[in-house]
Amino acid sequence: MAADPALVEVWLRGWALARGKAEPVRDRGALRVDVGEPDQQARFVFAAPSNAVTHLAAEVAAPAIHLKVCATQDETLALLPPGWTALRQGWLMTRSSIAVRTLAVPAGFMLRIGRDAAVQTAALFLDDTPVARGGVVRVDDTAIFDRIDVDPAYRRRGLATALMQALAASARDARRGALVATEDGRKLYEALGWTVSSSYVTAAYSSR
């Protein structure tokens, strides 16, 4: 399932903005973000599988360098030289309209809306304890949703749905939404009207 390169770039720009990182730059067939974290110094994102993945992986083989490829795990693994492994499967997803008709917060929980630099935030609280949180940023006409998380003990209570509705309401004039989901998250977002644009695989290097 091929990804739209323009969508990938917009999503990655939003991801970097939401995380307070510098804008992506083009580097050896990929888009690179200098993350600067101990477990991830940089990420290189490819909108499609190609030999460029193989060449780059051979050049940047070092811990804390991540390659992100819009491809299946099998396609990605076939391109990686020894020492690289696929860490996880994700899904680049979109929704053509994020308009919200109703916002339903489950009984007993309180919704708080805020802002952190460029990120519009939403959190659900039980008493004074935050149990769900997430953010959304705008890049051009696209709303990029990031770090959507519900504490495990409070899942399957409608909190993720309420969180997505609240964030969508704050970006309601966006033409579309974009996010990268885990396998479990994919099921939730599909139920909310999102569709898969492409698979999205993370690979990392280990010298062991």
Closest to 46 (Cα-Cα) out of 195, 199, 177, 205: 199
Q: Whole-model pTM above 0.85?
A: yes
For the chain, what are the domain ranges?
5-92+199-205, 98-174
8 CA to centre of own chain: 10
Q: What is the mean pLDDT of the chain?
A: 94
Share of the chain above pLDDT 70, in %: 99
140: left (phi over 0), alpha (psi -120 to 50) or beta: left
Q: Do 178 and 142 contact (CB within 8 A), yes or no?
A: yes
Q: What is the mean pLDDT of residues 7-33?
A: 97
Q: What is the mean pLDDT of residues 123-145?
A: 97
**SS3 for 205?**
strand
Residue with tokens 């409608």: 158
Cα(174)–Cα(60) distance, rounded to whole angstroms?
A: 37
Cα(102)–Cα(80) distance, rounded to whole angstroms?
A: 46
pLDDT classification of 101: cutoffs 50, 70, 90: confident
For β-strands 40-46 and 65-69, DSSP reports them as parallel
CATH architecture of structural domain 98-174: 3-Layer(aba) Sandwich (3.40)
Q: What is the mean pLDDT of residues 162-185?
A: 93
Q: Do 133 and 121 contact (CB within 8 A), yes or no?
A: yes
Question: Which pLDDT does position 2 carry in this prediction?
Answer: 73
Higher-pLDDT residue of 133 and 2 is: 133
